[in-house]
Chains A and B, each alone.
Chain A
Amino acid sequence: MSTSTPTRTLRVLIAKPGLDGHDRGAKVMARGLRDAGFEVIYTGLFQTPEMIASAALQEDVDVVGLSILSGAHMALFPRIMEALRAAGLGDVLVVAGGTIPEADQAAVREMGIAAVFGPGSTFADVAEFLRTHAPSRAA
């Protein structure tokens, strides 16, 4: 069986890497996903790649959501992906939200970020994407 059990509650780490101090968007997304039935682990501002990787590991999440407004995504995302891989978490679904210019989106996907959710995305869009793309788990 390669599909995940429908009853399994998906766990999502929402992380706010970088140095900008605005986490309103991240918190709104956390609550939206809670209301869509996800368990969201929210870790607060100023996360380093290593913090994100160790939290994702210990919490055994299915998804890591990176919220970013600072424009530092091109520098930060590769370091985060590397930290996740180093922690043995290459199979975790990674998505991003926030403001990422159109011009960078292809490069961001190339880094292994499965989707970028801009300001126009609804919770339903995000929830649907995560349910469809979260890695399946053998028992």
Chain B
Amino acid sequence: MADLIAQLDEGNPRALPRLLSLVERRDPAGMAALAALYPRTGKAAVVGITGAPGAGKSTLVNALAHAARAAEMRVAILAIDPSSPVSGGAVLGDRIRMMDLHADPGVFIRSVASKGRTGGLAPAAAAMVHCLDAAGYPLILLETVGAGQDSIDIDVLARTVIVVQAPGFGDGVQAIKAGILEIGDILVVNKADLPGARELARTLRGSLDHPEPGEWEVPVLLTDAASGEGVPAVLDAVLQHGRWLAQSGEIAQRLRVAASAEVLDGVRNELQRRLNAATAGSLDQVISDVAARRTPPEDAVNAILASLPGLGGAASDQRGG
């Protein structure tokens, strides 16, 4: 673990990829390294990019990375794609749009499978973002699985959320109804070179509430991500949003929300893991007994809770209260 951190600090190019793999599968050595690195984190601008598949998220991420490099910012990209629910495998193809960044040592790209997690993220996304943050990337772009109304979780992990729309992917009214716009700090209408883009931008602008004084005003920006046109303005808006977060004090709130989600998620996952382990051999019989009316459901619940390591007695607390 100390080795891994030393290698990371020396800039050994294999250290960060290895750390990400270890953390992704919750390997104890990786988790220990992350725990040691955690105090360094919380500095990076974590930017979530969400929107329907095909809207141009990967292309925009690529163009944003170029704009950031032109401003001499190092960039890390975490590109999340769905896993197959059947095999657990995945084809991760976001890099296809990012290959022209390969020669730049100031850009780091990692593809991640969602591993069945809904909400557009991956189970280890938060931990992997911490690693990139600890490795000193001031800008982290997080492309999520564009699952429409499902991709709400990104607003918890990211400091700034960009919602990407494009003409031909619904009329904007659909997006407004789905509530996906509400998580956007910046709205991007991509494929500005295609007909309908301007009208889509107008519809979106019309749907936004006027901000109170001191509130963030959500910009609606047109881009042609394929050519890069309009993309520097998106980077400017990201940086401006970061300044607004700091000045308004909103940043503290966002960090709290992210910390709370990460901790409670972790607790839920660990409880689930213990539950699965404790009931692996016995659940079938317990369920049969309940279904056949031999055991009341409540007794089965209490028996299972009492059998969980470290949790015996929780059920009686519940009864007492």
Chain A residues packing against B (C-beta within 8 Å): 8-9, 11, 30-31, 33-44, 47, 50-51, 54-55, 57-60, 87-88, 139
Query: Knowing that A34-B91, A58-B110 are A-B contacts, what are 5 other residue pairs whose CB atoms are under 8 Å apart, sorted by A's residue number?
Result: A34-B89, A37-B88, A40-B92, A44-B99, A51-B102
Does B84 lie within 8 Å of A139, measured CB to CB? no
Knowing A36-B87, A40-B89, A88-B13, say if A54 contacts B96 (CB, 8 Å).
Answer: no
Q: Note all chain A residues with C-beta closer than 8 A to B91.
A: 30-31, 34, 40, 42
- Bound together, the chains give a CA A40 to CA B83 distance in angstroms of 10
| Cβ of A64 to closest chain B Cβ, rounded Å | 14
CB contact between B111 and one of A30, A31, A41, A44 (< 8 Å): that residue: A41
Any A CB within 8 A of the CB of B254: no
- Bound together, the chains give a CA A88 to CA B96 distance in angstroms of 23
Determine the residue in chain A with the shortest Cβ distance to B111: A41
Q: Which 3 A-B pairs have the closest CB atoms?
A: A60-B17, A44-B96, A34-B89
Does B90 lie within 8 Å of A40, measured CB to CB? yes
| Cβ of B245 to closest chain A Cβ, rounded Å | 29
| Cβ of A98 to closest chain B Cβ, rounded Å | 18
| Cβ of B145 to closest chain A Cβ, rounded Å | 14
Does B102 lie within 8 Å of A139, measured CB to CB? no
Interface mask (B1-29 → A, CB under 8 Å = 1, otherwise 0): 00000000000011001101110010111
| Cβ of B89 to closest chain A Cβ, rounded Å | 4
| Cβ of B179 to closest chain A Cβ, rounded Å | 31
| Cβ of B63 to closest chain A Cβ, rounded Å | 17
- Bound together, the chains give a CA A58 to CA B108 distance in angstroms of 7
CB contact between A54 and one of B83, B103, B111 (< 8 Å): that residue: B103
- Bound together, the chains give a CA A35 to CA B88 distance in angstroms of 8
Does A8 lie within 8 Å of B17, measured CB to CB? no
Question: 8 A-B contacts, Cβ less than 8 Å apart?
Answer: A39-B113, A40-B92, A43-B99, A57-B14, A57-B17, A59-B110, A59-B111, A60-B20
CB contact between A39 and one of B14, B27, B92, B95 (< 8 Å): that residue: B92
Size category of the binding interface on chain B: 20 to 34
| Cβ of A29 to closest chain B Cβ, rounded Å | 10
Interface mask (B113-141 → A, CB under 8 Å = 1, otherwise 0): 10000000000000000000000000000
Q: Note all chain A residues with C-beta closer than 8 A to B103.
A: 50-51, 54
Determine the residue in chain A with the shortest Cβ distance to B17: A60
Does A39 lie within 8 Å of B90, measured CB to CB? yes
Any A CB within 8 A of the CB of B86: yes
Most buried by A among B27, B84, B91, B96: B91
- Bound together, the chains give a CA A30 to CA B93 distance in angstroms of 10
- Bound together, the chains give a CA A36 to CA B86 distance in angstroms of 10
- Bound together, the chains give a CA A43 to CA B79 distance in angstroms of 13
Knowing A43-B95, A51-B102, A87-B13, say if A8 contacts B110 (CB, 8 Å).
Answer: no
- Bound together, the chains give a CA A30 to CA B96 distance in angstroms of 13
Q: Note all chain A residues with C-beta closer than 8 A to B21.
A: 11, 60
| Cβ of A92 to closest chain B Cβ, rounded Å | 11
Q: Note all chain A residues with C-beta closer than 8 A to B73.
A: none
Most buried by A among B13, B20, B95: B95
Does B87 lie within 8 Å of A35, measured CB to CB? yes
- Bound together, the chains give a CA A50 to CA B102 distance in angstroms of 8
Does A58 lie within 8 Å of B92, measured CB to CB? no
Does A55 lie within 8 Å of B90, measured CB to CB? no
Q: Note all chain A residues with C-beta closer than 8 A to B86.
A: 35
Q: Note all chain B residues with C-beta closer than 8 A to A38.
A: 89
